Amino acid sequence: MWSASPYATTSIFADLKANNPEPVPEQAAAKGTDEAVDESTGDNVAAEEVLRSLPGIGTKNYRYVMGKVGSVRDLCAMDLASIQLLLGVEPGKACYDFLHKGEGQSK
């Protein structure tokens, strides 16, 4: 954003911030990093951890996956094409292969 002077920039930022709460420094510093602050309420912590541990799913897209899939069980029941549509071709294949490793093999 361009402004005429540092004073004009200050005025613009003040207008943009009007009626908004003060930021939490730790959350602001963590935005865009892999160590983002956990903003969950704790209800789905175990599911979030499981999702983030799967190939093709990480800190950048696990919330997207949670919004599209009802549960980890539902993700496991999806076919390859559906998981690839959700995650992309290569990440989807990696996730599907991991979830279905060993299926069809005799013990």
In a domain, 87, yes or no: yes
In a domain, 19, yes or no: no
Convert 86-98 to b/e letters by CB count within 10 Å (16 or more is b): bbeeebbbbbbee
pLDDT means over runs of 10, the chain (107 residues): 83 85 74 53 74 89 90 92 94 93 66
**Structure confidence at residue 37 (pLDDT):** 45
**Structure confidence at residue 1 (pLDDT):** 67
CATH number at residue 86: 1.10.150.20
Distance CA 62, CA 26 (A): 21
**Structure confidence at residue 36 (pLDDT):** 46
Task: Show the tokens assigned to 41.
Answer: 């309420």
**Structure confidence at residue 31 (pLDDT):** 67
Domain that holds residue 83: 24-99
In a domain, 35, yes or no: yes
Alpha carbons within 13 A on the beta-carbon side of 78: 24
Task: Show the tokens assigned to 19.
Answer: 């009626």
